[in-house]
């Protein structure tokens, strides 16, 4: 007899997230490239852009190799955009699974963003490997700051993705708006430039953006000579905390109605 074990809420969560995670890996990449595409694709993108930019502008940008400068920018903006996008999409995509009362929208989001996190870790390893073969100096002066920036940005992506995912169940057009407003982020988040390249009196146009803070702080964490003027970890973590709190509150209040439409 196959008995159903009586599970506590945490165990149910764990089981469901694991099941969804396995499903995500199995179904997300069904062609011959398989899972490797998720890792190879961003590495190639980062490599090409960073390499060209490095060639164009000479070896160094604000005391750090241009390749590293660019690689950090693209890696971070991509990890933010992709985490947010797939978190938002995961809710709608797994809608049919909410027929099982054990599966809640947030489990789908968590399974999906954990997968993204894993992929990004492999991408980072790949980029570091490429840098090693290109004889680019690899150094980290503040690993803890690097890690916190990466995880905070990931969390920001998760929180905003959850918020958008829930909102899109109510009004599906929000999905299109999300695509529209996330596109400029690539250009205003300091991926191709540093805040230091701008005169101070114009900083207020840019420095509201927590992604810019995360990227600039990460560059600082790798090369302390890069400087951290104008950006702060407190601001970044404050914003992430507020948005996460807000997003979880909205979720808690509205998820039952959101999947009952």
Partner 1 sequence: MIRLENITKYYPSKLGKQYIFKDLSFDIPSGHNIGILGSNGAGKSTLFRLLAGSEYPNKGKIITDLSLSWPVALTTGIHQQMTGRENTRFIGRVNGIADLDEYERRVIKFAELGEKFDLPVKSYSSGMKPRLAFACSIGIDFDVYLIDEVTSVGDAKFRKKAKEALLERSEKANVIMVSHEMKEIRQFCDSAIVLHKGELTFYNDLEQGIERYQAL
65, β-bridge pairs: 60
Residue closer to partner 1 by CB (options 31, 201) is 31
Which residues are CB-neighbours of 231 under 8 A, at least 6 positions away? 195, 207, 212, 213, 216, 217, 220
Residue closer to partner 1 by CB (options 103, 145) is 103
Residue 190 CB, shortest distance to partner 1, in Å, is: 39
Q: Which two tokens stand for residue 195?
A: 């805040």
CA distance 52 to 76: 18
Residue closer to partner 1 by CB (options 99, 144) is 99
DSSP at 197: G
Binding residues for partner 1 (CB under 8 A): 1-5, 7, 11-12, 15-16, 18-19, 22-23, 26-27, 30, 96-103, 256-257, 259-261
Residue 63 CB, shortest distance to partner 1, in Å, is: 49
Q: Which two tokens stand for residue 244?
A: 């996460």
Residue closer to partner 1 by CB (options 72, 167) is 167
DSSP at 6: P
Which residues are CB-neighbours of 164 under 8 A, at least 6 positions away? 84, 87, 88, 174, 175, 178
Residue closer to partner 1 by CB (options 170, 245) is 170
């Amino acid at each position: 007899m196959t008995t159903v074990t009586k599970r506590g809420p945490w165990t149910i969560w764990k089981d469901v997230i694991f099941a969804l995670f396995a499903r995500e890996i199995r179904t997300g990449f069904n062609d011959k490239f398989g899972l490797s595409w998720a890792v190879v694709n961003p590495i190639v993108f980062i490599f090409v852009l960073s390499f060209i930019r490095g060639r164009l502008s000479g070896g160094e940008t604000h005391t750090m190799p241009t390749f590293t400068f660019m690689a950090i920018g693209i890696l971070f903006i991509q990890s933010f955009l992709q985490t947010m996008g797939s978190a938002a999409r995961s809710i709608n995509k797994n809608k049919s699974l909410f027929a099982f009362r054990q599966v809640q929208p947030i489990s789908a989001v968590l399974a999906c963003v954990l997968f993204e996190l894993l992929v990004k870790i492999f991408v980072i390893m790949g980029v570091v490997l490429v840098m090693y073969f290109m004889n680019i100096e690899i150094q980290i002066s503040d690993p803890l700051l690097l890690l916190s920036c990466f995880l905070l940005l990931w969390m920001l992506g998760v929180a905003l993705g959850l918020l958008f995912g829930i909102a899109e169940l109510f009004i599906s057009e929000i999905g299109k708006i999300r695509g529209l407003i996330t596109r400029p982020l690539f250009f205003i988040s300091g991926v191709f430039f540093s805040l230091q390249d701008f005169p101070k009196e114009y900083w207020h146009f840019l420095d509201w953006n927590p992604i810019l803070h995360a990227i600039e702080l990460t560059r600082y964490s790798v090369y302390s000579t890069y400087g951290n003027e104008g950006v702060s970890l407190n601001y970044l973590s404050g914003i992430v905390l507020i948005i996460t709190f807000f997003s979880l509150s909205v979720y808690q209040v509205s998820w039952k109605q959101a999947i009952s439409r």
